[in-house]
Amino acid sequence: MDMTVIEIGVVVVAELRSAGYMESTIAQYAKTIRALSEFAEERVYSVGLGAEFASMTVSPRTGRFSAQRRCDYRRLVGVFDSYVRTGRVDLSVRGRGGGGPRPGVSEFAALDAAWEAEMSRRGLAPATRAAYGRVTRSYLVFLEKRGIVELGGADGASVLAFLESLLGRWAKSSLFWVVSNFRPFLKFTGRTDLVDAVNLAGVKRSHAIIPVLGDDDEELVVRACAAGVASARDAAITLLALTTGLRACDIVELRMGDIDWRGRAIGIVQQKTGNPLTLPLPALVMGKLADYVLDERPGSGDDHVFLRSVAPHTRLADHASVHRVTVETFRKAGVTDVKAGTRFLRHNAASRLLAAAVPLPTISAVLGHASPESTNLYMRVDRERLLECVLPVPESVRP
């Protein structure tokens, strides 16, 4: 398809307007189209030309890397490339950064692709594949930067140096998850020396005790959701996380067919474990879901329950979208002294059930744990019951 940047730009802008994008967003696209047109100098647009343009991430004004410039340029090039390849403007929302930097050398790119295929063959959940893939690619890119272009040139020291390099971006307590996501790839390569090296790092899991939401704060959040302080969508998302402890990935993937309106329940297959889960929903949650679906939800062919409120009206991008919703809802409710992510709300839901004397196997079922042992984590936050386990100090050892 031989078209200039201006010709494709006209099609893209028309499609953006037809899809209901805000004029401010369209104006930003138009500004980037003008920059691409100046760069192209009337040349016919091609994927190669787009790649050159997208690589221009340094601001001429400051002489420094510009994250906004990279975002705008890559976003436009993605749309242009979709049109050149398919004749259709693809406005679907892409995940943050596309899973991070990807290796450039051919052997590493092939190894990354082979690992992706293996994870798919194993039937790993999408969220798990994404997490494993990110750390794998980070390691391969790390090797490239050290001048290593094949895995045979890597040694155990490179694994330890890679983990050390992450401390600038990751809290030390979070490295356990990096190692957990990294080890399966190293085992896949058959390099036992690299597996031994990651084990040698001695990264241990941190079991911080997560606090629970106080009764007064929980009441403030529930009242705010019921009173319409937050939108129906945001109230439904927050209440789902607060009352059921659903994972963010399961809230994002919830579909219209998963809701049993008559039975006041939802039935899903969990993204993390692949296990089926059916949960009854309180009347307030069902009411907010109904308010959203009937009065607020944008018209869309996408059957995910929760959609973006601005165009394109597709499913929420990822867990970060749910985090933003819950944090903003808490802020509107006047509860600002807690980190209101779904992990916190999941712990809170479990702790409330435990305090209400609900048996651990039942809590495990409600939270959708693959193993009932995972629920033992929440026993540490039941302060009252822990105090009942305290033994008196024998008189013989008292001071």
Contact assessment for residue 318 and residue 99, using Cβ atoms and an 8 Å cutoff: no
Comparing CA positions, the residue from 263, 248, 230, 254 lying closest to residue 344 is 248
* Global pTM value: 0.63
Residue 337 burial by CB count (10 A; 0-12/13-18/19+): exposed, middle or buried?
Answer: exposed
In this predicted structure, what is the pLDDT of residue 315? Answer: 87
pLDDT (tens digit per residue) in 271-289: 877 788 888 899 999 999 9
Residue 66 burial by CB count (10 A; 0-12/13-18/19+): exposed, middle or buried?
Answer: middle
Comparing CA positions, the residue from 214, 229, 221, 248 lying closest to residue 348 is 214
User: At 65, phi and psi to the nearest 5?
Assistant: -60, 135
**Which alpha helices (H) appear in the chain, and where do they start and end?**
5-18, 23-40, 47-54, 67-86, 106-121, 126-145, 156-165, 175-189, 192-200, 215-226, 232-244, 248-253, 283-291, 319-333, 342-355, 360-367, 383-388
Cα separation, 93 vs 24, in Å, equals 17
Comparing CA positions, the residue from 312, 379, 331 lying closest to residue 89 is 312
Which of the two residues, 82 and 347, has the higher pLDDT score? 82
Q: Which of 12-21, 55-64, 364-373 has the lowest mean pLDDT?
A: 364-373
pLDDT (tens digit per residue) in 302-336: 899 999 888 888 888 878 888 899 999 999 999 88
Residue 395's pLDDT band (cuts 50, 70, 90): low
User: At 307, phi and psi to the nearest 5?
Assistant: -115, 160
Cα separation, 348 vs 381, in Å, equals 9
pLDDT (tens digit per residue) in 90-118: 887 554 444 567 787 888 988 998 998 99
Identity at 399, one-letter amino acid code: P
CATH class of 215-385: mainly alpha
In this predicted structure, what is the pLDDT of residue 349? Answer: 79
> Average pLDDT, whole number, for the chain?
83
Q: Percentage of residues in the chain with pLDDT exceeding 90?
A: 37
CATH no., domain 99-200: 1.10.150
pLDDT (tens digit per residue) in 141-163: 999 999 999 999 999 999 999 99
- CB-CB neighbours of 159 under 10 Å: 26
Residue 210's pLDDT band (cuts 50, 70, 90): low
Cα separation, 230 vs 239, in Å, equals 11
Residue 205's pLDDT band (cuts 50, 70, 90): low
Q: Which of 85-89, 166-170, 276-280 has the lowest mean pLDDT?
A: 166-170
**Domain residues of the chain, as ranges?**
5-91, 99-200, 215-385
In this predicted structure, what is the pLDDT of residue 305? Answer: 95
Which of the two residues, 242 and 101, has the higher pLDDT score? 242
In this predicted structure, what is the pLDDT of residue 95? Answer: 47
In this predicted structure, what is the pLDDT of residue 9? Answer: 92
Residue 202's pLDDT band (cuts 50, 70, 90): confident
In this predicted structure, what is the pLDDT of residue 386? Answer: 45
Comparing CA positions, the residue from 19, 37, 16 lying closest to residue 27 is 16
